[in-house]
Structure 1
Amino acid sequence: MNQQQEQLATLHEIRNIMDRSSRFISLSGLSGVFAGLFALAGVALVTWYLNQYDLLYRDIYSNSLDWNTTVFLLTVAGLVLLLALGSAIYFTYRKAQKNNHRIWDSKSQRLLVNLAIPLAVGGFFCAILLYHGLVYLVAPAMLVFYGLALVNGSKYTLRDIYYLGLSEIVLGLFAAVFIGYGLLAWAVGFGLLHIVYGTLMYYKYER
Protein backbone atom coordinates (compact mmCIF):
# COMPACT_ATOMS: atom_id res chain seq x y z
CA MET A 1 0.00 0.00 0.00
CA ASN A 2 2.83 2.37 0.90
CA GLN A 3 4.58 1.50 -2.35
CA GLN A 4 1.45 2.39 -4.31
CA GLN A 5 1.21 5.73 -2.50
CA GLU A 6 4.86 6.47 -3.23
CA GLN A 7 4.34 5.67 -6.90
CA LEU A 8 1.29 7.93 -7.07
CA ALA A 9 3.21 10.71 -5.32
CA THR A 10 6.08 10.30 -7.78
CA LEU A 11 3.71 10.44 -10.76
CA HIS A 12 2.05 13.52 -9.29
CA GLU A 13 5.43 15.23 -8.88
CA ILE A 14 6.43 14.34 -12.45
CA ARG A 15 3.15 15.78 -13.70
CA ASN A 16 3.74 18.99 -11.75
CA ILE A 17 7.25 19.32 -13.18
CA MET A 18 5.97 18.80 -16.73
CA ASP A 19 3.17 21.29 -16.10
CA ARG A 20 5.62 23.92 -14.83
CA SER A 21 7.87 23.34 -17.83
CA SER A 22 5.05 24.06 -20.29
CA ARG A 23 3.29 26.92 -18.48
CA PHE A 24 4.30 30.42 -17.43
CA ILE A 25 3.79 30.31 -13.67
CA SER A 26 5.38 33.60 -12.61
CA LEU A 27 2.13 35.56 -12.73
CA SER A 28 1.64 37.16 -9.33
CA GLY A 29 -1.67 37.36 -7.54
CA LEU A 30 -0.70 40.83 -6.32
CA SER A 31 -0.85 42.12 -9.88
CA GLY A 32 -4.52 41.07 -9.98
CA VAL A 33 -5.22 42.81 -6.68
CA PHE A 34 -3.64 46.07 -7.83
CA ALA A 35 -5.35 45.89 -11.23
CA GLY A 36 -8.66 45.58 -9.39
CA LEU A 37 -7.86 48.53 -7.13
CA PHE A 38 -6.91 50.71 -10.12
CA ALA A 39 -10.15 49.72 -11.88
CA LEU A 40 -12.24 50.66 -8.85
CA ALA A 41 -10.37 53.96 -8.59
CA GLY A 42 -11.21 54.58 -12.26
CA VAL A 43 -14.89 53.88 -11.64
CA ALA A 44 -14.84 56.23 -8.65
CA LEU A 45 -13.28 58.94 -10.83
CA VAL A 46 -15.92 58.48 -13.53
CA THR A 47 -18.68 58.60 -10.90
CA TRP A 48 -17.22 61.82 -9.50
CA TYR A 49 -17.09 63.33 -12.99
CA LEU A 50 -20.71 62.45 -13.68
CA ASN A 51 -21.79 63.98 -10.37
CA GLN A 52 -19.80 67.17 -11.08
CA TYR A 53 -21.69 67.74 -14.33
CA ASP A 54 -25.06 66.40 -13.15
CA LEU A 55 -24.87 63.50 -15.61
CA LEU A 56 -26.47 60.11 -15.20
CA TYR A 57 -25.03 56.84 -16.44
CA ARG A 58 -27.75 56.65 -19.10
CA ASP A 59 -26.18 59.81 -20.59
CA ILE A 60 -23.01 57.78 -21.18
CA TYR A 61 -24.75 55.21 -23.33
CA SER A 62 -26.91 57.72 -25.19
CA ASN A 63 -25.96 59.33 -28.48
CA SER A 64 -25.95 62.75 -26.79
CA LEU A 65 -22.58 62.11 -25.13
CA ASP A 66 -20.39 65.19 -25.67
CA TRP A 67 -16.78 65.11 -26.85
CA ASN A 68 -15.25 66.25 -23.53
CA THR A 69 -16.96 63.44 -21.63
CA THR A 70 -15.86 60.91 -24.23
CA VAL A 71 -12.24 62.09 -23.97
CA PHE A 72 -12.40 61.94 -20.18
CA LEU A 73 -13.76 58.39 -20.17
CA LEU A 74 -11.14 57.21 -22.67
CA THR A 75 -8.39 58.93 -20.65
CA VAL A 76 -9.47 57.23 -17.43
CA ALA A 77 -9.70 53.85 -19.19
CA GLY A 78 -6.22 54.38 -20.66
CA LEU A 79 -4.71 55.31 -17.29
CA VAL A 80 -6.29 52.28 -15.62
CA LEU A 81 -4.89 50.06 -18.37
CA LEU A 82 -1.37 51.52 -18.08
CA LEU A 83 -1.32 51.24 -14.28
CA ALA A 84 -2.64 47.68 -14.39
CA LEU A 85 -0.04 46.66 -16.97
CA GLY A 86 2.70 48.37 -14.99
CA SER A 87 1.77 46.56 -11.79
CA ALA A 88 1.51 43.24 -13.65
CA ILE A 89 5.01 43.66 -15.08
CA TYR A 90 6.48 44.72 -11.73
CA PHE A 91 4.97 41.97 -9.58
CA THR A 92 5.55 39.28 -12.21
CA TYR A 93 9.21 40.31 -12.51
CA ARG A 94 9.58 40.31 -8.72
CA LYS A 95 8.05 36.84 -8.40
CA ALA A 96 10.21 35.47 -11.23
CA GLN A 97 13.35 36.87 -9.61
CA LYS A 98 12.39 35.40 -6.25
CA ASN A 99 11.86 31.92 -7.73
CA ASN A 100 14.83 32.13 -10.12
CA HIS A 101 12.56 31.84 -13.17
CA ARG A 102 13.12 33.46 -16.53
CA ILE A 103 10.49 36.09 -17.26
CA TRP A 104 11.03 36.10 -21.04
CA ASP A 105 11.05 32.68 -22.66
CA SER A 106 8.96 30.60 -25.05
CA LYS A 107 6.23 30.12 -22.41
CA SER A 108 5.80 33.83 -21.70
CA GLN A 109 5.90 34.58 -25.43
CA ARG A 110 3.11 32.09 -26.16
CA LEU A 111 1.10 33.52 -23.28
CA LEU A 112 1.45 37.09 -24.53
CA VAL A 113 0.52 36.16 -28.11
CA ASN A 114 -2.60 34.30 -27.00
CA LEU A 115 -3.62 37.19 -24.74
CA ALA A 116 -2.81 39.88 -27.29
CA ILE A 117 -4.89 38.58 -30.20
CA PRO A 118 -8.34 38.73 -28.50
CA LEU A 119 -7.36 41.97 -26.73
CA ALA A 120 -6.28 43.64 -29.99
CA VAL A 121 -9.45 42.52 -31.77
CA GLY A 122 -11.50 43.72 -28.81
CA GLY A 123 -9.77 47.11 -28.89
CA PHE A 124 -10.54 47.58 -32.59
CA PHE A 125 -14.11 46.40 -32.04
CA CYS A 126 -14.63 48.94 -29.24
CA ALA A 127 -13.23 51.67 -31.49
CA ILE A 128 -15.74 50.66 -34.17
CA LEU A 129 -18.55 50.81 -31.61
CA LEU A 130 -17.48 54.33 -30.65
CA TYR A 131 -17.29 55.31 -34.32
CA HIS A 132 -20.92 54.25 -34.81
CA GLY A 133 -22.04 55.89 -31.56
CA LEU A 134 -22.81 52.60 -29.81
CA VAL A 135 -21.21 53.74 -26.57
CA TYR A 136 -23.47 51.60 -24.41
CA LEU A 137 -21.88 48.40 -25.81
CA VAL A 138 -18.27 49.39 -25.13
CA ALA A 139 -18.16 48.26 -21.48
CA PRO A 140 -19.79 44.87 -22.22
CA ALA A 141 -17.48 44.35 -25.21
CA MET A 142 -14.41 45.09 -23.09
CA LEU A 143 -15.48 42.48 -20.54
CA VAL A 144 -16.27 39.83 -23.15
CA PHE A 145 -13.04 40.23 -25.14
CA TYR A 146 -10.96 40.41 -21.97
CA GLY A 147 -12.59 37.19 -20.78
CA LEU A 148 -11.88 35.54 -24.14
CA ALA A 149 -8.23 36.63 -23.85
CA LEU A 150 -7.95 35.06 -20.39
CA VAL A 151 -9.56 31.81 -21.53
CA ASN A 152 -7.28 31.72 -24.56
CA GLY A 153 -4.16 32.42 -22.51
CA SER A 154 -5.00 30.01 -19.69
CA LYS A 155 -3.47 27.15 -21.70
CA TYR A 156 -0.03 28.67 -21.11
CA THR A 157 -0.21 29.84 -17.50
CA LEU A 158 -2.05 29.14 -14.23
CA ARG A 159 -5.26 27.28 -14.99
CA ASP A 160 -7.13 29.42 -12.49
CA ILE A 161 -7.38 32.36 -14.91
CA TYR A 162 -9.61 30.18 -17.12
CA TYR A 163 -12.41 30.55 -14.57
CA LEU A 164 -11.75 34.27 -14.20
CA GLY A 165 -12.10 34.54 -17.97
CA LEU A 166 -15.41 32.70 -17.97
CA SER A 167 -16.70 34.99 -15.22
CA GLU A 168 -15.73 38.08 -17.25
CA ILE A 169 -17.51 36.73 -20.34
CA VAL A 170 -20.73 35.99 -18.44
CA LEU A 171 -20.62 39.42 -16.81
CA GLY A 172 -20.06 41.10 -20.18
CA LEU A 173 -23.03 39.31 -21.74
CA PHE A 174 -25.16 40.34 -18.77
CA ALA A 175 -24.08 43.96 -19.23
CA ALA A 176 -24.88 43.76 -22.96
CA VAL A 177 -28.48 42.81 -22.16
CA PHE A 178 -28.97 45.13 -19.17
CA ILE A 179 -27.11 48.16 -20.52
CA GLY A 180 -28.04 50.36 -17.57
CA TYR A 181 -25.65 48.31 -15.40
CA GLY A 182 -22.61 48.71 -17.67
CA LEU A 183 -20.54 50.77 -15.22
CA LEU A 184 -21.43 48.46 -12.34
CA ALA A 185 -20.51 45.39 -14.40
CA TRP A 186 -17.22 47.06 -15.38
CA ALA A 187 -16.48 47.72 -11.69
CA VAL A 188 -17.29 44.13 -10.71
CA GLY A 189 -15.44 42.55 -13.63
CA PHE A 190 -12.26 44.59 -13.69
CA GLY A 191 -12.35 45.57 -10.03
CA LEU A 192 -13.84 43.11 -7.57
CA LEU A 193 -13.19 39.92 -9.57
CA HIS A 194 -9.54 40.87 -10.00
CA ILE A 195 -9.14 41.56 -6.30
CA VAL A 196 -10.79 38.27 -5.30
CA TYR A 197 -8.85 36.29 -7.93
CA GLY A 198 -5.55 37.96 -7.07
CA THR A 199 -6.00 37.39 -3.34
CA LEU A 200 -6.84 33.71 -3.84
CA MET A 201 -3.88 33.20 -6.19
CA TYR A 202 -1.52 34.95 -3.80
CA TYR A 203 -2.45 32.73 -0.86
CA LYS A 204 -2.55 29.62 -3.05
CA TYR A 205 0.80 30.00 -4.81
CA GLU A 206 2.88 32.66 -3.05
CA ARG A 207 2.38 32.23 0.68
Structure 2
Amino acid sequence: METKYKEDLREIRDIMNRSSRFISLSGLSGISAGILGLAGAYLGWKYILTDPKYLSYEPHLLPDSLLTNLLILAAAMLLLAIGTTLMFTQLATRKKQQKAWDQQAKRLLVNLFIPLVCGGLLCAILLFKGFVGMALALCLVFYGLALINASKYTLNEVRVLGLVQIVLGLVAFLFIEYALLLWAVGFGGVHIVYGSIMNLKYKS
Protein backbone atom coordinates (compact mmCIF):
# COMPACT_ATOMS: atom_id res chain seq x y z
CA MET A 1 0.00 0.00 0.00
CA GLU A 2 2.76 2.42 0.98
CA THR A 3 4.76 1.52 -2.13
CA LYS A 4 1.76 2.22 -4.39
CA TYR A 5 1.20 5.54 -2.60
CA LYS A 6 4.82 6.58 -3.27
CA GLU A 7 4.53 5.52 -6.90
CA ASP A 8 1.36 7.59 -7.30
CA LEU A 9 3.08 10.63 -5.79
CA ARG A 10 6.05 10.17 -8.12
CA GLU A 11 3.73 9.94 -11.11
CA ILE A 12 1.88 13.09 -10.05
CA ARG A 13 5.20 14.93 -9.68
CA ASP A 14 6.25 13.79 -13.15
CA ILE A 15 2.98 15.00 -14.66
CA MET A 16 3.29 18.38 -12.94
CA ASN A 17 6.90 18.67 -14.09
CA ARG A 18 5.96 17.93 -17.70
CA SER A 19 3.15 20.50 -17.56
CA SER A 20 5.39 23.31 -16.30
CA ARG A 21 8.76 22.54 -17.95
CA PHE A 22 10.10 21.63 -21.35
CA ILE A 23 11.98 18.41 -20.59
CA SER A 24 12.63 17.03 -24.08
CA LEU A 25 16.08 18.55 -24.50
CA SER A 26 18.42 16.18 -26.30
CA GLY A 27 21.89 15.36 -25.03
CA LEU A 28 22.95 14.70 -28.62
CA SER A 29 22.13 18.31 -29.52
CA GLY A 30 24.57 19.47 -26.83
CA ILE A 31 27.28 17.16 -28.16
CA SER A 32 26.74 18.30 -31.76
CA ALA A 33 26.77 21.97 -30.69
CA GLY A 34 30.04 21.34 -28.86
CA ILE A 35 31.65 19.75 -31.90
CA LEU A 36 30.54 22.69 -34.04
CA GLY A 37 31.89 25.10 -31.42
CA LEU A 38 35.30 23.45 -31.49
CA ALA A 39 35.32 23.44 -35.29
CA GLY A 40 34.36 27.12 -35.41
CA ALA A 41 37.02 28.08 -32.87
CA TYR A 42 39.69 26.17 -34.79
CA LEU A 43 38.76 27.79 -38.11
CA GLY A 44 38.71 31.22 -36.48
CA TRP A 45 42.14 30.66 -34.93
CA LYS A 46 43.66 29.12 -38.06
CA TYR A 47 42.40 31.50 -40.73
CA ILE A 48 41.02 34.71 -39.16
CA LEU A 49 42.45 35.61 -35.75
CA THR A 50 46.01 34.75 -36.73
CA ASP A 51 47.53 37.87 -35.16
CA PRO A 52 47.67 37.89 -31.31
CA LYS A 53 47.04 41.66 -31.30
CA TYR A 54 43.33 41.03 -31.92
CA LEU A 55 43.04 39.39 -28.50
CA SER A 56 43.98 42.36 -26.35
CA TYR A 57 42.40 45.18 -24.37
CA GLU A 58 43.36 47.65 -27.10
CA PRO A 59 41.08 48.12 -30.12
CA HIS A 60 42.42 46.57 -33.34
CA LEU A 61 40.05 46.72 -36.28
CA LEU A 62 39.85 43.60 -38.38
CA PRO A 63 40.41 44.13 -42.12
CA ASP A 64 37.17 44.02 -44.09
CA SER A 65 38.01 40.62 -45.59
CA LEU A 66 38.73 39.03 -42.19
CA LEU A 67 35.67 40.66 -40.61
CA THR A 68 33.47 39.34 -43.41
CA ASN A 69 34.94 35.85 -43.06
CA LEU A 70 34.42 35.95 -39.28
CA LEU A 71 30.77 36.99 -39.66
CA ILE A 72 30.16 34.28 -42.28
CA LEU A 73 31.80 31.67 -40.04
CA ALA A 74 29.74 32.78 -37.02
CA ALA A 75 26.49 32.74 -39.01
CA ALA A 76 27.24 29.30 -40.47
CA MET A 77 28.08 27.81 -37.06
CA LEU A 78 24.94 29.37 -35.53
CA LEU A 79 22.64 28.04 -38.25
CA LEU A 80 24.19 24.57 -38.07
CA ALA A 81 23.91 24.54 -34.26
CA ILE A 82 20.25 25.62 -34.38
CA GLY A 83 19.49 23.08 -37.10
CA THR A 84 21.05 20.13 -35.27
CA THR A 85 19.45 21.20 -31.98
CA LEU A 86 15.99 21.33 -33.57
CA MET A 87 16.54 17.97 -35.26
CA PHE A 88 17.67 16.13 -32.12
CA THR A 89 15.01 17.83 -29.97
CA GLN A 90 12.33 16.75 -32.46
CA LEU A 91 13.59 13.18 -32.23
CA ALA A 92 13.59 13.35 -28.42
CA THR A 93 10.00 14.63 -28.28
CA ARG A 94 8.82 11.89 -30.63
CA LYS A 95 10.56 9.29 -28.49
CA LYS A 96 8.77 10.60 -25.39
CA GLN A 97 5.50 11.06 -27.32
CA GLN A 98 5.36 14.76 -26.50
CA LYS A 99 4.79 17.90 -28.53
CA ALA A 100 7.92 19.70 -29.72
CA TRP A 101 6.20 23.10 -29.86
CA ASP A 102 4.06 23.58 -26.75
CA GLN A 103 3.57 26.43 -24.28
CA GLN A 104 6.66 25.48 -22.29
CA ALA A 105 8.83 25.44 -25.42
CA LYS A 106 7.57 28.92 -26.36
CA ARG A 107 8.37 30.29 -22.89
CA LEU A 108 11.78 28.64 -23.00
CA LEU A 109 12.67 30.23 -26.34
CA VAL A 110 11.40 33.70 -25.38
CA ASN A 111 13.41 33.70 -22.15
CA LEU A 112 16.45 32.34 -23.99
CA PHE A 113 16.44 34.75 -26.91
CA ILE A 114 15.91 38.06 -25.08
CA PRO A 115 19.35 38.06 -23.38
CA LEU A 116 20.85 36.23 -26.37
CA VAL A 117 19.79 38.86 -28.91
CA CYS A 118 20.83 41.75 -26.65
CA GLY A 119 24.21 40.13 -26.03
CA GLY A 120 24.66 39.35 -29.72
CA LEU A 121 24.06 42.97 -30.69
CA LEU A 122 26.49 44.22 -28.04
CA CYS A 123 29.13 41.69 -29.16
CA ALA A 124 28.67 42.83 -32.77
CA ILE A 125 29.23 46.46 -31.72
CA LEU A 126 32.44 45.51 -29.88
CA LEU A 127 33.57 43.50 -32.89
CA PHE A 128 33.08 46.39 -35.29
CA LYS A 129 34.93 48.68 -32.86
CA GLY A 130 37.93 46.34 -32.83
CA PHE A 131 37.48 44.73 -29.39
CA VAL A 132 37.52 41.13 -30.63
CA GLY A 133 38.66 39.52 -27.38
CA MET A 134 36.05 41.37 -25.34
CA ALA A 135 33.36 40.34 -27.82
CA LEU A 136 34.31 36.68 -27.36
CA ALA A 137 34.27 37.00 -23.56
CA LEU A 138 30.95 38.86 -23.55
CA CYS A 139 29.49 36.22 -25.84
CA LEU A 140 30.09 33.62 -23.13
CA VAL A 141 28.62 35.82 -20.39
CA PHE A 142 25.41 36.64 -22.24
CA TYR A 143 24.98 33.06 -23.39
CA GLY A 144 25.25 31.97 -19.77
CA LEU A 145 22.71 34.60 -18.70
CA ALA A 146 20.34 33.43 -21.44
CA LEU A 147 20.61 29.82 -20.28
CA ILE A 148 19.96 30.76 -16.65
CA ASN A 149 17.00 32.91 -17.69
CA ALA A 150 15.52 30.01 -19.67
CA SER A 151 16.36 27.32 -17.12
CA LYS A 152 13.21 27.90 -15.05
CA TYR A 153 11.24 26.41 -17.95
CA THR A 154 13.45 23.36 -18.48
CA LEU A 155 15.88 21.01 -16.76
CA ASN A 156 18.07 22.17 -13.86
CA GLU A 157 21.23 21.11 -15.71
CA VAL A 158 20.73 24.06 -18.07
CA ARG A 159 21.21 26.46 -15.14
CA VAL A 160 24.50 24.79 -14.25
CA LEU A 161 25.60 25.05 -17.89
CA GLY A 162 24.78 28.75 -17.80
CA LEU A 163 26.79 29.35 -14.64
CA VAL A 164 29.82 27.61 -16.14
CA GLN A 165 29.59 29.78 -19.27
CA ILE A 166 29.43 32.97 -17.19
CA VAL A 167 32.49 31.96 -15.15
CA LEU A 168 34.43 31.20 -18.34
CA GLY A 169 33.39 34.55 -19.79
CA LEU A 170 34.58 36.45 -16.71
CA VAL A 171 37.88 34.56 -16.76
CA ALA A 172 38.21 35.49 -20.45
CA PHE A 173 37.83 39.16 -19.51
CA LEU A 174 40.67 38.76 -16.99
CA PHE A 175 42.93 36.92 -19.43
CA ILE A 176 41.86 38.42 -22.73
CA GLU A 177 44.71 36.79 -24.68
CA TYR A 178 43.04 33.42 -23.96
CA ALA A 179 39.55 34.60 -24.92
CA LEU A 180 39.33 32.43 -28.03
CA LEU A 181 40.61 29.37 -26.15
CA LEU A 182 38.08 29.90 -23.36
CA TRP A 183 35.37 30.46 -25.97
CA ALA A 184 36.30 27.06 -27.43
CA VAL A 185 36.18 25.49 -23.97
CA GLY A 186 32.75 27.01 -23.25
CA PHE A 187 30.98 26.46 -26.55
CA GLY A 188 32.93 23.31 -27.40
CA GLY A 189 34.20 21.22 -24.51
CA VAL A 190 31.57 22.18 -21.94
CA HIS A 191 28.75 21.50 -24.39
CA ILE A 192 30.14 18.05 -25.17
CA VAL A 193 30.42 17.20 -21.46
CA TYR A 194 26.92 18.60 -20.80
CA GLY A 195 25.42 16.68 -23.72
CA SER A 196 27.11 13.45 -22.67
CA ILE A 197 25.77 13.78 -19.11
CA MET A 198 22.26 14.53 -20.41
CA ASN A 199 22.42 11.58 -22.77
CA LEU A 200 23.45 9.19 -20.00
CA LYS A 201 21.07 10.59 -17.39
CA TYR A 202 17.93 11.03 -19.46
CA LYS A 203 18.68 8.64 -22.35
CA SER A 204 17.94 11.50 -24.75
| TM-score scaled by length of structure 2 | 0.92
- Coordinate RMSD, CA, aligned: 1.8
Corresponding residue for 1:10? 8
More displaced stretch, 58-67 vs 165-174: 58-67
Corresponding residue for 2:142? 145
Q: How does 1:186-201 map to 2 (within 5 A)?
A: 186-201=183-198
Q: How many residues align?
A: 202
1:164 aligns with 2:161: yes
1:72 corresponds, among 66, 69, 74, to 69
In structure 1, what is the Cα distance between the partners aligned to 2:55 and 2:25?
35
1:25 aligns with 2:49: no
Give SS of 1:163's match: helix
Q: How does 1:24-43 map to 2 (within 5 A)?
A: 24-43=22-41
Which amino acid in 2 is paired with 1:56? D
In structure 2, what is the Cα distance between the partners aligned to 1:58 and 1:85?
31
Give how far 1:50 is off: 5.0
Corresponding residue for 1:203? 200
Deviations 1:133-154 (A, max 9, x none): 3222100111000000100111
Corresponding residue for 2:121? 124
1:56 corresponds, among 51, 54, 57, to 51
In structure 2, what is the Cα distance between the partners aligned to 1:183 and 1:127?
16
In structure 2, what is the Cα distance between the partners aligned to 1:152 and 1:169?
12
In structure 2, what is the Cα distance between the partners aligned to 1:95 and 1:75?
30
Give how far 1:105 is off: 1.1
Q: 1:15 to 1:126 in 2, by over 3 A?
A: same
In structure 2, what is the Cα distance between the partners aligned to 1:58 and 1:198?
34
1:50 and 1:57 in contact (8 A); partners too: no
Corresponding residue for 1:47? 45
Which amino acid in 1 is paired with 2:27? G
Deviations 1:122-180 (A, max 9, x none): 01111221243322210011100000010011111111110000000000011011100
In structure 1, what is the Cα distance between the partners aligned to 2:5 and 2:95?
31
Query: Identical aligned pairs, as a percentage?
Result: 50
Give SS of 2:193's match: helix
Residue segments in structure 1 that go unaligned for 5+ positions in a row: none
Corresponding residue for 2:174? 177
